[in-house]
Structure 1
Amino acid sequence: MPDRRLRLFLSLPLLVAMLGCGDASEPRVEAPAVAEAPPFPARPDLLLITIDTLRADHLSAWGYERETSPNLDRLAAEGVQFEEAQVQWPKTGPSFTSMMTATYPKDNGIVRHVGIPVPCAYRMLAEELSALGYQTRAVVANGAVGREFFFDQGFDDYVETWKVEEEYEGRNWRNRRKRDPNRAERVTDLALLSARQLDRERPYFLWVHYLDPHAPYSPPGDFADLFQGDEYFDPSQRIEIDPTKARREIGAIGKKDVVDHEDRLAFYVARYDAEIRYTDAEVERLLEGLRAEGLADNRVTVVTADHGESLGEHNYYFSHGRLPFQTCLRVPLLFHWPGVLEARRDAAPVELIDLAPTLLALAGKELPGGRWAQGASLVPRLRAGGDRDAPEEPHLSFSEAGYGQNRRWLHVVRDERFKLVYAPLDRDQIWIGGVGKEFVLFDLEEDPGETRDVAAEHPEVFDRLKRALWSWYRAPAFPVATEEATCGDDRVIDQETEKQLRALGYL
């Protein structure tokens, strides 16, 4: 088959010039070293559950008032819960590229949702695990991580739910009620079918990606009205409906997202929460099914998300990706390993590029300095007392957001308390107090809603984070071949994937 060639994207010189501060000799920001501790059991099975569009602050375990996630709450209570995990770009394609390659979007070039495949020169998590002798299987329900974009690299089997024939493995979907092929129920069924094909004598890596609660928020059956009119339902806040808007936009919602002319914000939030509750139930069914198959004896279960969702905050409705607020950047991250991990909560910032190095370290790969690609293993922080052994240096997390296709990017650095946002090309993107801003400093402790710029009140924090952002962005790109890289066959978006991407508003 003909070769496909991909150009690798490098850092923007323009950004370096516009940041315009910092000593050229400043070192790159590195994760702090931590003391060694006794190793964990060798070569555990690895289950990665990712839930599309799941913001952390709508889970009970992260402080939400509604009981949206009883099963995830149990996992969090029994494992290690990272309270401040942050994605590197709040869109599915860029986020998973960073997650699976442990590289930043500014370096791997995936700054657009669909249309740019994962660069072949970057090793994927599944490729590394396969080289370690792991079986690798995936079931995914979002076309943005389809085979067309080379997310299947390293997987023995890669199931795309929207492409699976209606009739398979002796089960006839036509005899059941009409179903969305990407529903969480079907994802669970397909994941269990895939898991039954595993060799019990070898460790496995299974990635299961649920599309719910991605918009449009349409929880099935009894879940649909689960939270409508409950004690947390506030009917007073109304939203603008603009029939001329074909896509979700700032300031209004388009006709395609409206349910029966409903303009109460609480109605849509309740449906979003009900989608979470439905997916939470399916996650539990998946775990029970794997347990029944004998696939849970020595298994690390990780639950996280590709990004969150804006539900009207900052006048941004039912979408994600354009603005770098915590509603879209902050996601859940928990590790569950019964009998091995002690239950604890970690409140320091975490980057999702650290996930792959962590799983590789648990699988037995030697990581010089605890790092793989640009990520750092979280294994020291999984150990009880890991944080107490760490030096006093602050944990930093870096993210980006915006419309990648026209380079209207925004850049973020945060520590345990403060967050700096930089809008280099368009000050109109971030409005605080009716004023467009180039730099904005938020105090996440005092102002979690990110409504007030406190740069003037904390000039030393502003300068420190600005230097850190400069040091991070001007660092050399992750060292891969800068020549055009060759990897396999040409791939085009097929009709099934195009249909799904259009339904999700991606095309």
Structure 2
Amino acid sequence: MSHPPFRYTLILVSVGLSTALAAVGGWRYARASAPLAGPIIVISIDSLRPDHLPAYGYRKVETPAIDELANSGVVFERAFAHAPQTLPSHAALLSGRLPFETGVRDDTGGSVRPGERLLAQMLRERGYATGGVVSSSLLRQETGIGQGFDFFDAEMPVDPSARAAGRVQRDGAHSEQIAEQWLETVGGSRAFLLLHLNEPHKPYAPPDRFSQYSPYDGEIAYADEIVGRLVRYLKTHQLYDRSTIVLLSDHGEGLGDHGEQEHGLFLYDETIRVPLIIKQEGNARAGARVSDVVQLIDLVPTILDLVQAPTPGSLRGRSLEPLLDGGSRRPGQAVYSEALYGRYLFGWSELASVTDGRYRYIRAPREELYDLERDPNERDNLLVPGPQENLSNLGNPANPERAVQALAEALDRLTSGTAPAVPTSSASLPDPKDTYQILEAYRSAVELASAGEWSKAIGLLQRIVREHPELVEAWNQLARSAYRIDRYDVALGAYKHLIALRPSEPAGYIGAAEALVKLKRLEDARAEAARAADVATDRAARVSAHELLVRIALARRDAEAARAGAGRVHDIDPSVPMPTYVDARLLYDQGHYADALPLFEQAIAELKKAGGLPMADLHYYAADTLERAARPQEAEVWFLEELRYFPGNTRARGGLASLYHATGRPDEADKILSEMIETRKDPESYSLAARLWQSFGKIRQAAAIRAEARKIFSY
């Protein structure tokens, strides 16, 4: 058999190689010369650790949807968040700026500034329809995280017991359905979607079909199932291949690796390293992996590059497009992260860290330095003297003193000219490494309260405040828990301690006033509410204090004070129809229901027109008045509307149950009462259910629920 001449073979190889290079070059030219033709979708999965995903080598759970994205996209192996909390992390990744620049540094007490330009607004200016669907109240509309979105859905079907524990969320499957519906309305091509899933956030409660996994991994499997539904939707509508899909997490989860079970306190890998997978349009560079250190603030400049939009000069992040294209590696960078949860919640020192390709430096009262190559689990602090830190044992010429100096200087450069990440006064505050057990005990108490085990929660909180009386949040949680089970004297005492610790903040005075109302000490309640109004500085707190003064005046039958207070509320926030509501309540309390009804309806119309926040009891009183007027169908609508916004309103649930019973719907009445007991788990719900079942003629059911209440709430 004759063989072709060597020169001929070389020519064929050269032609083939030239063709391949031309194809690659053509693809890169096409990428450079044309913006994206399909939707841009960011899927943020809360609290997801990359080392619990098969795409990152984990083998104890199956995630076929995420695996498909990884196989179709580019996997970034070393991506890091800037805060181990939901709101500050999302504010950073959607703005391209660090937490101390956005001003959002904790999940509570802060919001995105009205002038902050987020990714949604930047894309909307390029002609994109922008939609956001979130699954946690930590990202509710009031936080400002929805700025720039044409459509932003953050409505939570609230579990009242979850509200007490600060965990208000909705099933990610519901959020995904809403996202599909929105994509359907906008057509999909030039659309930007943010879909946030709260699984696998605590409390871990995966569906039973994932019971073969640990609770945390089971929630990951459920989140993957939800991602799979969105992927199927995109494929069904011929959008998948055209889509740019970014899958990431806002932070990780401690799982006890350094003592912390959840997140927020520490800045180790388990809480700030996150998955980052980018599936590009046309599945370009499918299956590629990138080991460079990258960060969540790189997302905004990357997407702006992909849509050929100018990148604002104020952004800290760098575009990942060169890495997506398979270009040369970028110069190394130090990633900044901070944790202020311990400072804001308990008064402990905050932490700040920088992570580069080799080391992580954590600035704290006792500094930490870890060699992430040799010690990926961060067990050996190189700044702690001891045999394990002996340089002769390191087996390499690494110099920890030089590394810590370089990283500390990098941290200083990152934060220069801004609000300091760690004020100098923090050096005298407790180091979270020494106090994390207190946080874990507190979180256990919150979990007990969420499960309705109020007495155990209160006992644990009382032990915590005995040992650590300076902990404001422990007193606060104790007060809220005691209030829920009618232990108003305990709640009042806790609020008094809160006032002593924070005399310039209104929350303690408001809580004390509400407990005093329950104890029927109305004059004392009025005095505490007045103090709250005196110290309140922001509008929301001033409105809350003056609304409480109005409610106390109504309870005291002081019409003049109620009307005066209503006027003050309206002056502070014109969107609150308090004057009309008070006029209606005064007539209602006198039994003039026919006269009160049009005023309740007017107040509802005023609230809707002004776009104000939902107002507690407004729809309840309108519904109750309609029911008294023998208009049950209209009453049902308003009862349901009250429960939509305030699902913990037992009077509204009781009123709806009575309406169902009166209109021949006993099964629905029973369901409403059973749901009330299950979700609230407090004496008020048990007592109301027993009274109503007794009035419905269900004597044995009423007796059983009273017996159950005595067993649960005997103290």
TM-score, length-normalised on structure 2?
0.50
Q: Check the 8 A contact 1:418/1:443 in 2, yes or no.
A: yes
The structural deviation recorded for 1:416 is 1.1
Paired AA for residue 222 in structure 1: R
Q: Report whether the alignment pairs 1:400 with 2:344.
A: no
Match of 2:264 in 1: 321
Query: Aligned equivalents of 2:340 and 2:290: distance in 1?
Result: 29
When residues 468 and 272 of structure 1 are mapped into structure 2, their CA distance, relative to the original with a 3 A threshold, is: same
Partner deviation per Cα, 1:407-465 (whole Å, 9 max, x = no partner): 83211111112100001xxx3xxxxxxxxx2x110011221211111246422212211
Partner deviation per Cα, 1:385-422 (whole Å, 9 max, x = no partner): 342xx4xx423211111325258321111111210000
When residues 161 and 461 of structure 1 are mapped into structure 2, their CA distance, relative to the original with a 3 A threshold, is: same
Query: Aligned equivalents of 1:401 and 1:305: distance in 2?
Result: 17
Larger RCO, structure (CA 8 Å, separation 6 or more): 1
Query: Aligned equivalents of 1:112 and 1:145: distance in 2?
Result: 12
Match of 1:205 in 2: 192
Match of 1:471 in 2: 413
Q: Report whether the alignment pairs 1:274 with 2:218.
A: yes
Query: Aligned equivalents of 1:315 and 1:121: distance in 2?
Result: 39
Query: Aligned equivalents of 2:370 and 2:204: distance in 1?
Result: 30
Paired AA for residue 277 in structure 2: L
What is the aligned counterpart of 2:35 among 3, 23, 42?
A: 42
Instruction: Name whichever structure is richer in helix by fraction.
Output: 2
Match of 2:273 in 1: 330
The structural deviation recorded for 1:296 is 2.7
What is the aligned counterpart of 1:196 among 184, 188, 192?
A: 184
When residues 89 and 49 of structure 1 are mapped into structure 2, their CA distance, relative to the original with a 3 A threshold, is: same
Query: Aligned equivalents of 1:494 and 1:469: distance in 2?
Result: 45
Partner deviation per Cα, 1:471-503 (whole Å, 9 max, x = no partner): 11214579xxxxxxxxx9997698878989xx9
When residues 71 and 127 of structure 1 are mapped into structure 2, their CA distance, relative to the original with a 3 A threshold, is: same
Q: Check the 8 A contact 1:148/1:491 in 2, yes or no.
A: no
Query: Aligned equivalents of 2:79 and 2:646: distance in 1?
Result: 31
The structural deviation recorded for 1:115 is 2.9
The structural deviation recorded for 1:374 is 1.9
> Aligned-residue CA RMSD in angstroms?
2.8
When residues 494 and 294 of structure 1 are mapped into structure 2, their CA distance, relative to the original with a 3 A threshold, is: farther
When residues 147 and 118 of structure 1 are mapped into structure 2, their CA distance, relative to the original with a 3 A threshold, is: same
What is the aligned counterpart of 1:92 among 49, 70, 86?
A: 86
* 1:55-74 matched pairs, under 5 angstroms: 55-74=49-68
Match of 1:246 in 2: none
The structural deviation recorded for 1:157 is 0.9
Match of 2:290 in 1: 346
Paired AA for residue 183 in structure 1: D
Match of 2:451 in 1: none
SS at match of 2:282: coil
The structural deviation recorded for 1:103 is 1.1
* 1:9-24 matched pairs, under 5 angstroms: none
Stretches of 4+ aligned residues off by more than 4 angstroms? 475-478, 488-500
Query: Aligned equivalents of 1:477 and 1:38: distance in 2?
Result: 42
Query: Aligned equivalents of 2:248 and 2:416: distance in 1?
Result: 29
The structural deviation recorded for 1:114 is 2.3
Q: Check the 8 A contact 1:302/1:334 in 2, yes or no.
A: yes
Match of 1:430 in 2: none
TM-score, length-normalised on structure 1?
0.69
The structural deviation recorded for 1:76 is 1.3
What is the aligned counterpart of 2:120 among 107, 121, 126?
A: 126
Q: Report whether the alignment pairs 1:214 with 2:201.
A: yes
User: 5+ residue gaps in structure 1?
Assistant: 1-36, 165-179, 228-269, 428-436, 479-487
Match of 1:415 in 2: 356
Instruction: Name whichever structure is richer in strand by fraction.
Output: 1
Match of 1:226 in 2: 212
The structural deviation recorded for 1:124 is 0.8
When residues 290 and 106 of structure 1 are mapped into structure 2, their CA distance, relative to the original with a 3 A threshold, is: same
Match of 2:20 in 1: none
Match of 2:323 in 1: 381
Q: Report whether the alignment pairs 1:451 with 2:398.
A: no
Query: Aligned equivalents of 1:331 and 1:499: distance in 2?
Result: 35
The structural deviation recorded for 1:55 is 1.0
Q: Check the 8 A contact 1:79/1:341 in 2, yes or no.
A: yes
Query: Aligned equivalents of 1:452 and 1:421: distance in 2?
Result: 13
Q: Check the 8 A contact 2:264/2:339 in 1, yes or no.
A: yes
The structural deviation recorded for 1:120 is 1.5
Paired AA for residue 42 in structure 2: L
Q: Check the 8 A contact 2:74/2:279 in 1, yes or no.
A: yes
The range that moved more, 129-138 or 468-477, is 468-477
Partner deviation per Cα, 1:209-243 (whole Å, 9 max, x = no partner): 111111111101211x122xxxxxxxxxxxxxxxx
SS at match of 1:399: strand
Query: Aligned equivalents of 1:325 and 1:157: distance in 2?
Result: 35
Query: Aligned equivalents of 2:255 and 2:94: distance in 1?
Result: 27
Q: Check the 8 A contact 2:100/2:418 in 1, yes or no.
A: no
Query: Aligned equivalents of 2:169 and 2:175: distance in 1?
Result: 8
Q: Check the 8 A contact 1:308/1:327 in 2, yes or no.
A: yes
Query: Aligned equivalents of 2:232 and 2:318: distance in 1?
Result: 32
SS at match of 2:131: strand
Q: Report whether the alignment pairs 1:112 with 2:106.
A: yes
Paired AA for residue 197 in structure 2: Y
Query: Aligned equivalents of 2:209 and 2:140: distance in 1?
Result: 31
When residues 191 and 66 of structure 1 are mapped into structure 2, their CA distance, relative to the original with a 3 A threshold, is: same
What is the aligned counterpart of 1:441 among 369, 374, 399?
A: 369
The structural deviation recorded for 1:62 is 1.2
SS at match of 2:382: coil
Query: Aligned equivalents of 2:611 and 2:371: distance in 1?
Result: 47
SS at match of 1:196: helix
Query: Aligned equivalents of 1:274 and 1:182: distance in 2?
Result: 17
SS at match of 1:301: strand
Q: Check the 8 A contact 1:58/1:273 in 2, yes or no.
A: yes
When residues 181 and 398 of structure 1 are mapped into structure 2, their CA distance, relative to the original with a 3 A threshold, is: closer
* 1:281-320 matched pairs, under 5 angstroms: 281-317=225-261, 319-320=262-263
The range that moved more, 87-96 or 152-161, is 152-161
When residues 181 and 323 of structure 1 are mapped into structure 2, their CA distance, relative to the original with a 3 A threshold, is: closer
When residues 147 and 407 of structure 1 are mapped into structure 2, their CA distance, relative to the original with a 3 A threshold, is: farther
Query: Aligned equivalents of 2:85 and 2:99: distance in 1?
Result: 11
Query: Aligned equivalents of 1:394 and 1:70: distance in 2?
Result: 33
Q: Check the 8 A contact 2:41/2:194 in 1, yes or no.
A: yes
